[in-house]
Amino acid sequence: MVDLKVSLCGWELDNPVIPASGTFGYGAEFKDFYDINILGSIALKGTTKEPRYGNPTPRIADCPSGMINSVGLQNPGIDKVISEEIPNLKTFFHKKSVANACGFSIEEYVEVASRFDECEDIGIIELNVSCPNVKHGGMGMGTTPESAYEVTSAVKKAVKKPVFVKLTPNVTDITAIARAAAEGGADGLALINTALGMRIDLNRRKPILANVKGGFSGRAIFPIALRAVYEVYEAVDIPLIGIGGIATAEDVIEMMLAGATAIEVGAENLVNPYACKQIIDDLPAAMEKYGINKLTDIIGGAHRG
């Protein structure tokens, strides 16, 4: 019998599979497909202090092996997430969730994270300093070591729950940002968020997205995410959540060998609503195929020669 359990900062998960923020909503759309309690956890939609409609449409563009989105952190705001969305989720999902805290200033990050810190149904706060689809915040907070350190340390001083900083690949050296977040007190890191991309409508001869650029995600970015996790694992000594293009049980094993303790499944949920369930169902056979008894035994295994 293989062991799928993993632990994030003392929080034990039945398996490492977590739907990524923004691709699973608050679980309600998926609960009728399968019992989502089989998941390790759920990463909630990115949440800001005030409600946000998001960016103008069109804000989705198709790509081979992926998609580009410029949704722009559409969400109902922290008050409604805590008073309505999380209580509703609790009626059909009986595990703690990962909260995704966003902001347009350090003060907003601190306020949103502090509100999540008070919520007993939240296990980890994922600090989103890497969204490419908003201005004056989002990715801007995570593109220099100085800003990453500043926002991380400010949030860590205000909360007690573990804080995982979500990193952008849209930088020259992701390891420098990772070290800065770790020095700021991050309990862990989540990587990567989407890569910047765009598409052009040949008939209109104009960008498809109203925002011109957006976040590129899907199977095509898996090698980029894998490389980032591998590099960051060697740069810091805190747990990592691997994100980006994960679609199969073999992808999970590969990502954990690179250094991830858990993984998040993003765009694949939008292609196949059963994606996370299928990955979990397939993991035992994949582990047996590669001689793995416990998933925790392989974390960072690719670094050991």
How do residues 132-182 score in pLDDT, each as one tens digit? 544 444 456 788 999 999 999 999 999 999 999 999 999 999 999 999 999
Would residue 115 count as lying in a domain?
yes
Provide the Cα torsion 219, 213, 197, 277; round to 10°. -10
Which stretch of 6-10, 27-31, 140-144, 276-280 has the lowest confidence by average pLDDT?
Answer: 140-144
Give CA–CA dist 43/190, Å, rounded: 11
Amino acid at 14: D
Would residue 267 count as lying in a domain?
yes
CB 231 within 8 A of CB 208: no
Looking only at the bridges linking them, the beta strands covering 214-217 and 66-69 are antiparallel
- Token couple for 168: 């952008």
Would residue 185 count as lying in a domain?
yes
Q: Which domain holds residue 27?
A: 6-303
Q: Closest by alpha carbon to 8, among 157, 123, 175, 179? A: 123
Would residue 281 count as lying in a domain?
yes
How do residues 222-261 score in pLDDT, each as one tens digit? 999 999 999 999 999 999 999 999 999 999 999 999 999 9
Would residue 33 count as lying in a domain?
yes
Would residue 1 count as lying in a domain?
no
Would residue 205 count as lying in a domain?
yes
Give CA–CA dist 113/47, Å, rounded: 9
Would residue 107 count as lying in a domain?
yes
- Token couple for 254: 């590969």
The domain total for the chain is: 1
Give CA–CA dist 270/259, Å, rounded: 26
CB 188 within 8 A of CB 164: yes
Handedness of CA 261, 38, 275, 250 (dihedral sign): positive
User: Is 131 part of the annotated catalytic residue set?
Assistant: yes
Give CA–CA dist 190/174, Å, rounded: 12
Tell me the helix, strand and coil percentages in the chain, rounded to 5.
35, 20, 45
- The CATH number of residue 63's host domain is 3.20.20.70
DSSP 3: B
Q: Which of 63, 102, 131, 276 is catalytic?
A: 131
pLDDT for 142: 80
pLDDT exceeds 70 at position 36: yes
